[in-house]
Amino acid sequence: MKDDIQTAPKHLIDHEVPPELHRHQDEETLLAQWLSQAIDKGPVYWLVLGGIVAGVIALAVTVGSWTTKPSANSAAWLDLMLANTPEEQIKVAETPGPAAGWALLQAAEARYQEAFNDLPANRDAALPLLTKAHDLFEQASLKADADPMCRRRAAMGMARALEARGDLDAAIAQYEAVAKRFPSTAEAARAELLARELRKPENQKFYQNFAAYKPTEMTLPPRGRGFLDNLPTGHPALDGPVVPAPGLDLPALPPANDATATPSAAEPKPEDAPATTETEEPEASSPVIPSTPFKDESPNP
C-alpha cells in the first residue's frame, strides 16, 4: 500500500479529499447540540442571541419594578380605608400615588358636609369650612392627574363649595368649566343644568335672602325661671326655708350633721335588751273585753 502511494502521481496526492469526521447528534447532550449549531451559524447568530438575552433581562427588571410599586400603593389605600377624620385623610395624601387624590377628595367632602350642616344656624362658622373644602377639592384635582373620575368629582366639588358660599358668579363659571373640560360625562350634564338654574332670577333672589337670613335667637330668663319672680304679696321666697301648710303637724327632722343622730356606744341598742318571757298584765285602766260580748253573763234571778 505504501508503495502504491509513493508511485501515484503527485497531483492525485495533493488533491485527495481529507477524511470527514461524522458526529452522531443522538449521542450528544442538548447543550452540546445547541453549541455546535451556534458555531456553525456564525457570529450573526450570537448577536441575535445577545439581543434576546438583553430583552429578557430588561423585561424582568420592568416586571420587578411593577411588582414593588403596588406594595406602597396598597399600604396607602389601606391607610385611607382606616382614616376616620379629615386630618387623617390629609395625612394619607402626603404619600405619592393614586390614593393621594382620593384622600384629599374624601377630606374635602367631609369638610363640605360639616359646613353644609352648620350653614343655616351658624353661617359664620360654616363659611371658613366651605373655603377649606374648596381648597381641598382643588388640591385633589391637581393630585389626580392620572385619574379622570377623581378629577371630575373634585371639579364639581369646587363648584358646589362656591355655590354654598353664595359666590354665584364663580360657581356658574366653575360649572361651565366642568361641562367644557369633561364633555359627554354625567358630571358635564349635571354642571350644565346647575349653571342654567343659578342664572334664573328667582334662584339668585333665594340665595340673596339666604345670605341675609339670621336665625331667631332665644334668650333664657334669669336663673331659668323668670316667670316665677313676680310672686303675689306674702308668698314665701322660693329660696327660703320650707314652710309647712297650716294644720299639718310635721315632726322636726334632725340636721344631717347632728352627732345625736347616731346612737352612742353608752346607750344600749334595742336588740341588746334581754328578752322577757312573762306576759304583761293589762293596766287597770284598760277595759277588759269579754270573750263572748253578745252572751248575757248576768246571773239568773
pLDDT 10s per residue in the chain (301 long)? 445 555 555 555 555 555 554 555 555 666 666 667 666 666 766 677 777 877 778 777 776 665 555 556 788 888 888 888 999 998 988 888 888 999 999 999 999 999 999 888 888 899 999 999 999 999 999 988 788 999 999 999 999 999 999 999 999 999 999 999 999 999 999 999 999 999 999 999 999 998 888 877 766 655 555 555 666 666 666 665 655 555 555 555 556 555 555 555 555 555 555 555 555 555 555 555 555 554 555 555 4
Residue pointed to by grid coordinates 326655708: 241
User: What pLDDT, on a 0 to 100 scale, did the predictor assign at position 301?
Assistant: 44
Nearest to 198 by CA among 207, 189, 190: 207
Judge whether 54 and 60 are in contact, CB under 8 Å.
no
Answer yes or no: are the C-beta atoms of 92 and 107 closer than 8 Å. Answer: no
Q: Can you tell me the distance from the alpha carbon of 104 to that of 160, in angstroms, rounded to the nearest whole number?
A: 16
Is the entire prediction scored with pTM above 0.85?
Answer: no
CA distance 292 to 265: 49
Residue 160, amino acid: R
Q: How far apart are CA 60 and CA 55, in angstroms?
A: 9
- Position 176 scores a pLDDT of 95
From the options 1.10.10, 1.10.1060, 1.25.40, 1.10.3470, give the CATH code of 86-211.
Answer: 1.25.40
